[in-house]
Amino acid sequence: MNIHEHQAKEILREFGAPISEGFVIFKPEDIDHRLKKINSNNLVLKAQIHAGGRGKAGGVKLVSKSDAVKEAKNMFGKTLVTHQTGPEGKVVKRIYVQEAYDILKEFYLSCLVDRESSKIAFIASTEGGVDIESVAKNHPEKILTTKVDFKEKLTNAEVDKVISLFKFNETQKKEAVNLINALFNILIKKDASLIEINPLVITKSQKIICLDAKMNFDDNAIFRRPEIQKLRDINEEDPSEIKAKKHDLAYIKLDGTIGCMVN
């Protein structure tokens, strides 16, 4: 099961990870009275859909506070077509409004279940803000994968290895240790199968911020995670897959008249 970026960030916040300051709106008029919570005059409006590539499709806009309402109205109801939505696209029904940061560096960080080794894998790269697949293809030397066992707690040596590519200073290392432990605990305690921070940034004030966040959860474990089940947005799911779930069928719709059903 997928969730939205703003929901993923709230889970990260719950576990002590540093996230961007922001809020979600479900209609343009909601934005006015909530802007007071953000000190910066520069904002980013981010369409909340279950797909990557939002920026290239017009789903991420850098705006001033004075233009925020107008730009939000333009974004609501817009159909975004990305490489992950298919030609039909996805309609924007909620927007995440966050403070715009002066970024010094961008990194990639993820934590996932590695089924081949039956371990948890951390993937780190100095190439943040781009598709990790293209980095793996063109610059594999810029990716570090660290696999750890399922256990109660990571060792200091394991955490140090995960973040070794980033060359953090001592203050940033302390923040990064909290972040790595947060990802590890979310994966285990919430039955997540993938947590992706892309990009993880260092601001010009030397702060570490999770600027974007993606989380997937194991469908087979949702029955014991009612707090995660509540985050489900069926507007983002294919109707045929929703119907299949009602009958406990694992069905994935593919292009054309092809589907994948595995039970």
Nearest Cα neighbor of 189 from 208, 215, 209, 213 is 215
Helix (H) or strand (E) holding 251: strand 251-253
Q: Let me know if 101 is a catalytic residue.
A: no
Nearest Cα neighbor of 108 from 216, 215, 211 is 211
Q: Look up tokens 């960080």; give the residue.
A: 109
Report whether 36 contacts 46 (CB < 8 A). Answer: no
Nearest Cα neighbor of 110 from 46, 184, 45 is 184
Angstrom distance (rounded) from CA 211 to CA 60: 12
Angstrom distance (rounded) from CA 139 to CA 131: 12
Which one of 71, 96, 108, 158 is the catalytic residue?
A: 108
Q: What angle do CA 181, 182, 183 make, to 5 degrees?
A: 90
Task: Specify the amino acid at residue 152.
Answer: E
Angstrom distance (rounded) from CA 150 to CA 147: 10
Report whether 210 contacts 19 (CB < 8 A). Answer: yes
Q: Let me know if 99 is a catalytic residue.
A: no
Nearest Cα neighbor of 52 from 10, 126, 18, 2 is 2
Q: How far is CA 123 from CA 128, 150, 177, 248, in A?
A: 12, 16, 15, 32
Active site residues: 108, 196
